[in-house]
Structure 1
Amino acid sequence: MSKYMLIMRNSGSVEKLEDMDFEAVINAMGAYNESMINAGVMVGGDGLTDAAQGAVVEFTTEAPIVTDGPYGELHELFNGFWTIEVATREEAIEWAGRAPLGPGNKIEVRRMTDETDFADHADNEYLQKEQEWRAQEGAAKPAADPA
Structure 2
Amino acid sequence: MRFMIIVKATADSEAGKMPTEKLLADMGKYNEELVKAGVMLAGEGLHPSSKGARIKFSGANRAIVDGPFAETKELVAGFWLWDVKSKEEAIEWVKRCPNPMEGDSEIEIRQVFEASDFGDEFTPELRAQEEALREQIAAKH
TM bracket, shorter-chain basis: 0.7 to 0.9
Percent identity over the alignment is 35
Runs of 4+ in 1 over 6 A off after TM superposition: none
What is residue 134 of structure 2 aligned with on the other side?
134
Q: TM-score with structure 1 length normalisation?
A: 0.83
Assess if the C-alpha contact under 8 Å between 2:54 and 2:67 holds in 1. Answer: yes
Question: Which shows bigger deviation, 5-14 or 119-128?
Answer: 119-128
CA distance, structure 2, for counterparts of residue 56 and residue 122 of structure 1: 28
Segments of structure 1 that go 5 or more residues without pairing to the other structure are: 143-147
Instruction: Write the distance in 2 (CA, Å) between the matches of 1:61 and 1:73.
Output: 25
Task: Name which of 81, 84, 87 aligns with 2:82.
Answer: 84
Q: Using the alignment, how far apart are the partners of 2:97 and 2:17 within structure 1?
A: 16
- Contact conserved, 1:13 with 1:105, CA < 8 A, in 2? no
Pick aligned residue for 1:57 from 55, 79, 102: 55
Indicate if the aligned counterparts of 1:5 and 1:112 stay in contact, CA closer than 8 A: yes
1:112-131 equivalence runs, <5 A: 112-123=112-123, 125-131=125-131
TM-score (norm. length: structure 2): 0.86
Shift of 1:61: 5.9
Deviations 1:32-62 (A, max 9, x none): 1111011110000100011110001111364
- CA distance in 2: counterparts of 1:103 and 1:125, whole angstroms: 48
